[in-house]
Amino acid sequence: MRYLGLLLLSFFLTYVVRKVALDRAILDMPNERSSHTVPTPRGGGVAIVAVFYLGLLWIRPEIDPHLFRALLWGIPVALISLLDDLLTLSSKVRLMVQAFASAGALYALGGVDRIDLGLLTLSGWYLNALAFLAMVWIINLYNFLDGIDGYAAMEAMVMGAGVWLFISPALGGVILASVMGFLFFNWHKASIFMGDVGSATLGFIFAVLIFYRTDEGMIYGWLVLLAPFWFDATVTLIRRWRRGEAVMSPHKKHAYQRLVQSGWRHDQVVLAVLGIDLLFLALLLIVPYWWLVFLLNLLVMALLYRTVEHKKAFT
C-alpha cells in the first residue's frame, strides 16, 4: 500500500507542478533541436524528486546505511538543476555541484577500491578517480537522453525494476512509484517534461547504484539495463568530437532522436527500447555470468545503432 500511496502522491504533485508551470509560463519552447512542436510545461521532475526522497526516508531502516547516505547527496544535484530549469545557470556551476555531490556519494559508499569484472578483478586507488568521472558523466548523459516523451521516465522504471530484483525491493518500489506517477503526464504526447531537476537527479541515483557493491559483479547488471542511454550518449559524443564539433553544444544527433526524425513516433521508440530492456532484464535473471550478458548487450547496442544509421544518417 505504501507504494500505491507514493505513486498517487507523485501523480498529484506532477499535476500541481504542471498547473503552476502553466500559470507562470515556465515552458519548454520548441526550437530547431527540439523533438516537440508546442510549448510544454517543464519541471515535472520536482514531483519525482520529492516523492523519491520522501520514500527514501520511509524505507531507511530497510536499506544499507551507506547507500542511504550516498543517495542523499543527490539533493544538491536536484536543487542546482531546479535553479537551472528556472534561471538557466552556467554549465560550470552545474558541473561543480555535480562533482561535489559525486565525491560526497563516493565517500558515503566507502570508496571504490575493487571492481569485480568476472574474468578479472580491478583494484587500486585509481578506481575512485574513474568512478568519480563516470558518475559526473552519467548525471549528464541521462540529461542528454531526456529528449522525447516518456523516454527517461521509462528507462528509470526499468532501472527501478532492476533495483527491486537485485538490490532492494523497498528502494526499487520507491523508484518505480515516484516515476510512474509522473509518467502518466509524460507519455506521448507529453503534457509536462521532467526538466533537468528530474533527469539529472535520476542520473545521479543510477550513478550511485552502478558503484554500489562493485565487488560483487553488480556493475554489469546496471550497465546492461542503462545501455540504451550510456551507449548512445558515449558513441555520439565520440563521433562529434572526432568531427571537431563543440561536444557540449545542443544537437539532435543521438540515435533515439534520429529514429524520431526518420518517422517513428516518440512512444514507438520508447516501447521498442523497453522491449530490449525487458529482454536483457530476463537474461540477467537466468544467466549466471553477467559479463556474458554484458557482451551480448554491447553487440545488440552496436547493431541497433547501425540500424538507426541506415534510417537517418549522422550528419
Task: Write down the pLDDT at residue 109.
Answer: 95
The model's confidence at residue 140, banded by pLDDT at 50, 70 and 90, is very high
Tell me if 29 is assigned to some domain.
no
Q: How confident is the model at residue 310 (pLDDT cuts 50, 70, 90)?
A: confident
Q: Per the domain annotation, does 105 fall within a domain?
A: yes
Phi, then psi, of 26 in degrees rounded to 5: -90, 85
Q: Is 32 inside any structural domain?
A: no
Instruction: Record the pTM.
Output: 0.94
Tell me: the pLDDT tens digits for 249-270? 777 888 999 999 998 999 999 9
Please state the domain count of the chain.
Answer: 1
Q: What is the DSSP string of 27-40?
A: EE---TT-S--S-E
Q: Are 136 and 95 in contact (CB under 8 A)?
A: yes
30 part of a folded domain: no
Three-state DSSP at 51 gives: helix
Q: Is 172 inside any structural domain?
A: yes
Q: Which domain holds residue 91?
A: 2-24+40-311
Mean pLDDT of 75-101: 93
DSSP 190: P
pLDDT in tens, 155-201: 999 999 999 999 999 999 999 999 999 999 999 888 999 999 999 99
Nearest to 132 by CA among 73, 80, 88: 73
pLDDT at 216: 74
Asked if residue 167 is part of any domain, the answer here is yes
Please give the backbone phi and psi of residue 123, each rounded to the nearest 5 degrees, phi first: -150, 155
The residue ranking higher by pLDDT, 113 or 81, is 81
Q: pLDDT digit string (tens) for 198-247?
A: 999 999 999 999 999 887 778 999 999 999 999 999 999 999 998 888 77
Residue 35 scores a pLDDT above 70 = no
Q: Is residue 108 one of the residues assigned to a domain?
A: yes
Q: Does 220 fall in a domain?
A: yes
